[in-house]
Amino acid sequence: MKVSYHGHAVVKVDADEKVILIDPFINGNGLTDLNVENEAPDVILLTHGHGDHIGDTVELAKKKNALVIANNEIANYLSWQGLNVHAMHIGGKYQFDFGTVMLTQAFHGSAMITEDQQIIYLGMPAGILLTIKGKTIYHAGDTGLFSDMKLIGERHPIDLAFLPIGDNFTMGPEDAAYAAELLKAKMAVPIHYNTFPPIKQDPYAFVKLLKDKNGLVMNPGDSIEL
């Protein structure tokens, strides 16, 4: 299984001829190496309803009727746009043909803000536990630090954790490093930084904060094998 990072919070998983995209914010993402025209995922996983996470989901999903997995509110919202969806919610898990998905809590917002200044509530934000062939990836989504990360790590051995470090909207580097400790992740990768001025951070400084030095800075396009 190949796992790659593509700027902001975009993560791609290639497993058993299935391409899974998490939070596919491509257009408008100045840090990504991806092009919407070149991507045709089989599955899209969404953590919450902000535009920099739902991103290009509609256009990407329509290419080959990709399955979009998200909380119930986002799933319904996207189904009205003709997408193939599977609704879930926090604490629930489901076995798909590619692996198991479980949504965890996250502390953030989740809404779509329209051009005519309307706010569409899109349910609670979530983190994602994706397990494929005994390997578990945790994508924290956008969140602050919370103590139940310890419980998540105890109940779900995590091979690779993607943690936001941008501060301002999410955890900063110090809290993210403590989150990695609570989660007992074998490897922690910083995400959600440097895309916009308020979230400017040094990812290498985050790695230095990790007690076990179990951190990896992934530049857009970098990948690792699990």
Question: Residue 20 falls within a domain, yes or no?
Answer: yes
162 occurs within a structural domain: yes
Range of the structural domain that residue 155 is part of: 2-217
Spatial distance between the Cα atoms of 128 and 12, rounded to a whole number of angstroms: 13
The pLDDT of 119-129, averaged and rounded, is 97
* pLDDT at residue 10 greater than cutoff 90: yes
CATH code of the domain containing 171: 3.60.15.10
Give the model's pLDDT for residue 139.
98
* In-domain check, residue 211: yes
Q: Is residue 163 part of a domain?
A: yes
Q: Are 142 and 9 in contact (CB under 8 A)?
A: yes
Mean pLDDT of the chain: 97
What number of H helices and E strands is found in the chain?
A: 6, 15
Answer whether residue 225 is part of any domain. Answer: no
Task: Report pLDDT for 211.
Answer: 85
Q: What is the pLDDT of residues 190-222, one digit of tens each?
A: 999 999 999 999 999 999 999 877 999 999 999
Give pLDDT tens digits for 94-105: 999 999 999 999
Specify the pairing of strand 126-132 against strand 100-105.
antiparallel
Establish if 224 belongs to a structural domain: no
Residue-wise pLDDT tens digits, 68-85: 999 999 999 999 999 999
Helix (H) or strand (E) holding 68: strand 67-71
Position 31 pLDDT exceeds 90: yes
* Tokens coding 66: 């990709």
Element (H, E) at 77: helix 72-79
Number of domains composing the chain: 1
Q: pTM here?
A: 0.97
Q: Is residue 222 part of a domain?
A: no
Q: Considering the domain boundaries, does residue 24 fall inside one? A: yes
